[in-house]
Structure formats: C-alpha cells, structure tokens
A = this chain, B = another copy of it.
C-alpha cells in the first residue's frame, strides 16, 4: 500500500461536520459564501475559513463573480481515499478471518 501524502488535506478537511455540510449543500447547486453561511448559522468569516480549507484540499472551487465568491464542488474525486478505505476494510476482514481460524484450531479441552 502506497503512502499518499496528498490524502492528508482532504481527510482533515472532511473531519468537520460543517465542512461536510457545505459539500452536501454544494452537491445540490453552486452557492455564494453568504448563501452557504446562512443555513449553518455561522459568520461570513467562519464560512470563508471553512471554504478556504475545502479549496486547499481541492474539494471546492471558487470564482469571483462581481462582488460575490461563487463556490462549486470539486475537482477532487477522492479516488485515493476511497481506495485506501477499501483496502483497510479488506485487511480488517482478513484479520478477523485469521482470528476465527485460530479459535477453531485452539484445543477446547476434553469436556469430560
């Protein structure tokens, strides 16, 4: 398994419920910082910071449209993270299988 250093930022960006909420909102359509801030009850400054973290991680693209900053989803597809988690789950299953085999092979003692 390869160490993907570029996975650090998106994982850290996703480790916050407001930032995940912002991505879910952008999944329904593009929005300005003001439109994003309102439903989460956060300040414009707070929202800008969250969007900046998401943008640095490649999960959000922003564009200046007049006086507003328009946000949209992407471009990162999270292929590497999805792949990593699938490998982790396979490893976990294999460990559990081996543990099961070990239990079966362990002598249970004579019931008499």
In the complex where A8-B15, A8-B17 touch, is A27 in contact with B88 (Cβ < 8 A)?
yes
- Taking the closest CB of chain B, its distance from the CB of A59, in whole angstroms, is 8
Q: Let me know if B15 and A15 touch, CB within 8 A.
A: yes
Starting from the known contacts A7-B20, A74-B92, 7 additional A-B residue pairs (CB-CB under 8 Å) come to A3-B21, A27-B88, A27-B94, A72-B95, A74-B95, A78-B89, A81-B85
**What is the count of identical protomers in the complex?**
2
- Taking the closest CB of chain B, its distance from the CB of A106, in whole angstroms, is 16
- Taking the closest CB of chain B, its distance from the CB of A72, in whole angstroms, is 7
Tell whether A82 is near chain B: CB-to-CB under 8 Å.
yes
Tell whether A12 is near chain B: CB-to-CB under 8 Å.
yes
Partner of A82, one of B3, B9, B85, B92: B85
